[in-house]
Amino acid sequence: MEEIILHAARKSLKIKKTKFRNKINNVCNKKWFDKECRLTRHSVRKLANQKHCNPLNVEIRNEYHIALKIYKNTLNRKKEIFHKKKLEELETISENEPNSFWKLLKNMSDELEDLSTCEPDVTANSWLTHFESLHAKHTMLGTEQQHTLNQLEKLEEEIANKFLDEAISENEIINAARKLKNNKSAYSDKK
């Protein structure tokens, strides 16, 4: 009887161990990942789905493992070819053109370039000059537009609430603090 209770307690109080998964590297973002890699990955995923539907089917499991092995070999081969090609380029360029050598060396990573980290081709100043030149063509304003512009400039100069621009004095802060109640919110929820 005691063994049954202990066995049930061990089963019910089983502490789950958290499994740490390795970070999955997204292979699709590599420069060497081409159409052949994409097609082999597609076939592996197709077989993986079939394997999950029929986990007891030995033929599908064997096909999946063979396809997975082919896929991994394809990825390794493509990666190796890419790096060999880059090294050959570096060797040929290092002798002839030192400037392009350093540019190529900077771009040696496998990753495809992320557009958010790249510097834009157009600078901010060129944008500004472009749009200023677009609006510079309309220098001839009618009397109505000129009158509207003058009114807007006057409104910008006249500040309605000048007391908001003044510095807050110590007395104002002390008076506001006195009005607050202890253990109460400073904002009223009432409408």
- pLDDT tens, position by position, 7-51: 887 777 766 666 666 655 677 778 888 889 999 999 999 999 999
- pTM exceeding the 0.75 threshold for the entire prediction: no
Strand runs labelled E in 70-152: none
Distance linking the first and last C-alpha atoms of the chain: 67
The total number of residues shown for the chain amounts to: 191
Q: Taking 50 as the threshold, does the pLDDT of residue 115 lie above it? A: no
